[in-house]
Amino acid sequence: MSNFDAIVIGSGMSGGYAAKELTERGLKVLVLERGKNVVPAEDYNDTVPIWERPNLGRIPQDELEEHYAVQNKAAGWAMNWASKQFFVKDSEHPYEEADDSKFQWVRGYHSGGRSVLWSRVALRLGPQDFEENKKDGHGVDWPVRYKDIAPWYDKVEKFVGIAGQNEGLPQLPDGVFQPPFALTDTEKHLRESVKANFPGRTVIHTRTANLTQPTEEQMSLGRAPCQARNQCHEGCSFKAYFSSVNATLPAAQRTGNLTLINNAIVHSIEYNAAKKRVSAVHVIDKITKNTSRYTAKLIFLNASTVGSAMILLQSKSESFPSGLANRSDQVGRNLMDHVTGAGITGRLNKFAHLTSYGRRPCGIYIPRYGNITEDGKPYIRGFGYQGWSSPVNTLNKRRPGIGREFKESYKHPAPWEINLYAFGEVLPNPDNRVELHPTKKDKWGLPVAQFHTTMGENERIIIEEARKDAIAMLEEAGFTDIKAPKGHITAMGNRVHEMGTARMGRDRNTSVLNGWCQAHDVPNLFITDGSFMASSACQNPSLTYMAFTARAANYAADKLQAGAL
């Protein structure tokens, strides 16, 4: 099948955005998605009340162990009877960890990819994040600065719908926000105390991709305000949180320019040496295993960081014997994620007379301050914290008592508990990489991924220091009962923010993409999932993937329409 203007490989967070932008520019776009389609009215189970769910919504333990061992280890907190369908079965999608490597690869293979599953924390990178590689020599210099991407953040935030508050912080720039979910009094108390005692640190509302005041455009896509159910990992029948399924794919669909093919596993991209362009995509049907070939003038690769690297590495040709667009040998390398460790909790009595109503789909955030507003740190780069608070007599928390007293304890005064956990930057390191396993194949005959990944010393120090700082902030604010277990840091992949396997850079010898997410070696190939990231910063990355995708798609459409691709 042929004659599309563009093929987008993958329909997740970034692929959905590419499809929207390209179709809205009038291009005929084919989206190839390896998983099943997701139709909200048919597939979301979010409206089934918990008492009607088998096992109260819990996934049987044997099933978890047999089929979801990795998914559960990293993202078990988001898994239940209703969201299970959005995680891959590890038993069907094996991969390998080389030597002592640890990598937890959390995936969702279906329309929307992991945009259906994400926790919606949507933060911009700041100016420092684009400059530090150059300053401290880790990784290559980003060929883009904050000012280049700022207008695209604006554009994406407006479409996506982010609840948040402008704070005027240079390191976490303001954006286009809908009203935030209010802080609890405990969180406000921490905010005030931190402001007074730790100048340069700020406790803010989580910036979250849940609608609080939908725009006309959002409502025209059938999206309604958030109902405070906090069941977002199950899909949302109100379409109140952003996902490709709830927003970008319907937006692309309504242009009349979108063709979506599901169960289409892309195994390679064909390169036409004479034209010096990619010309076709080869696909295996997930169910029948039949193969097909699709052609287009332009290809956007959005199969997620690891998925895209695998496709490039599988696309060998005379021109690219070690994989498409891989003359720099950087494809698959510099695989990053974020690092976290054990969380920190503390209790405060001051607001014992209060409880809350509704289930907020977010909490608080403390933006990075290390090596920005505070110097002399024993680590480079830095970390931010996510957190939330609730009364300790909240149901489901272990507490003493029986009978009426216990049953009604939710009405009794009780301290509030706050939780904080750090998200630290992981440095780019060419030895952290994914490659094709030399012998092992999946059930479609494709090589499985083999990871070589370890967290480094800087990451370990970051988590140690984050723990100390959190204790200090809670103590200063008068929290008691502070618990801060030591020693544990997460494996690579655990934060599900993997990125970096086809980094952008100024030099084609040391990077895969230029500043437009365009392959140095292949002008009509764009890669706009997390692969392009030249460093990880410490902010949750998906908003950045979408902003770069929108920018690249419009650049590519301009070039195509000008006959320059």
Partner 1 sequence: MTADRRQFIFGAISLVGGNALLASCKSEPNIKPTNIANSGPLFYSAADFVLVTRLCDLILPRTETPGALDAGVPAILDSLMDQWANSETQSNHRRDLADIKTGLDANSGGNFIDAEYSVAEAGLNVFDTAAFSDEHAHFAYQGLKQLIEVAYAASEAGSETYHRNPVPGYWDPAVPIDTL
Residues near ligand FAD, by CB under 6 A: 9-15, 32-35, 75, 78, 106, 108-109, 113-115, 117-121, 264-266, 302-304, 307, 311, 496-497, 529-530, 540-542, 545
Residues 113-172 that bind partner 1 (CB under 8 A): none
CB of 269 vs partner 1, minimal distance in Å: 43
Number of other residues whose CB lies within 10 A of the CB of residue 321:
9
CB of 216 vs ligand FAD, minimal distance in Å: 26
Residues 386-405 that bind partner 1 (CB under 8 A): 395-404
Residue 64 or residue 325: which is nearer to partner 1 going by CB? 64
Question: What binding mask, one character per residue, do residues 186-205 give for partner 1 by CB under 8 A, x or -?
Answer: -x------------------
Nearest to 447 by CA among 274, 313, 255: 313
CB of 38 vs partner 1, minimal distance in Å: 22
Question: What binding mask, one character per residue, do residues 259-298 give for partner 1 by CB under 8 A, x or -?
Answer: ----------------------------------------
Of positions 356, 454, 510, 554, contacts partner 1 by CB under 8 A: 356
Nearest to 513 by CA among 305, 225, 315, 356: 305
Determine the Cα–Cα distance for residues 377 and 381; give it in Å rounded to an integer: 9
CB of 354 vs ligand FAD, minimal distance in Å: 27
Residue 34, contacted partner among ligand FAD, partner 1, none, CB below 5-8 A by kind: ligand FAD
Determine the Cα–Cα distance for residues 14 and 17; give it in Å rounded to an integer: 5
User: Which residues pair with residue 347 across a beta bridge?
Assistant: 417, 480
Question: What binding mask, one character per residue, do residues 62-81 give for partner 1 by CB under 8 A, x or -?
Answer: x--x----------------
CB of 31 vs ligand FAD, minimal distance in Å: 9
Query: What residue type is assigned to position 417 of the chain?
Result: E
The encoded tokens of residue 100 equal: 């002592």
Nearest to 556 by CA among 312, 302, 189: 302
DSSP three-state, residue 294: strand
**By the 8 A CB rule, do 382 and 425 touch?**
yes
256 counts as binding partner 1 under rule CB under 8 A: no
Of positions 39, 69, 182, 472, contacts partner 1 by CB under 8 A: 182
Specify the length of the chain in residues.
Answer: 565
Number of other residues whose CB lies within 10 A of the CB of residue 99:
6
Query: What residue type is assigned to position 107 of the chain?
Result: R
The encoded tokens of residue 360 equal: 């907020």
Residue 93 or residue 254: which is nearer to ligand FAD going by CB? 93
Residues binding partner 1: what is the number (CB under 8 A)?
A: 48
Which contiguous run of DSSP H or E holds residue 264?
A: strand 264-272
Residue 350 or residue 377: which is nearer to partner 1 going by CB? 350
241 counts as binding partner 1 under rule CB under 8 A: no
Residue 183 or residue 310: which is nearer to partner 1 going by CB? 183
Residue 139, contacted partner among partner 1, ligand FAD, none, CB below 5-8 A by kind: none
407 counts as binding partner 1 under rule CB under 8 A: yes
Determine the Cα–Cα distance for residues 311 and 236; give it in Å rounded to an integer: 31
Residues 19-58 that bind partner 1 (CB under 8 A): 49-51, 54-58
**By the 8 A CB rule, do 235 and 40 touch?**
yes
Determine the Cα–Cα distance for residues 154 and 159; give it in Å rounded to an integer: 9
- Those residues whose C-beta lies under 8 Å from the C-beta of residue 422, and which sit 6 or more positions away, are 340, 341, 383, 384, 385, 462, 463, 466, 467, 470
Residue 57 or residue 515: which is nearer to partner 1 going by CB? 57
Residue 14, contacted partner among partner 1, ligand FAD, none, CB below 5-8 A by kind: ligand FAD
Instruction: Write down the H helix ranges in 185-287.
Output: 185-197, 216-220, 249-253
DSSP 387: E
406 counts as binding partner 1 under rule CB under 8 A: yes
Residue 59 or residue 477: which is nearer to partner 1 going by CB? 59
Cα-to-chain-centroid distance, residue 388: 20
Q: Tell me which residues touch partner 1 (CB under 8 A).
A: 49-51, 54-62, 65, 181-185, 187, 227-229, 351, 353-360, 395-404, 406-408, 410-413
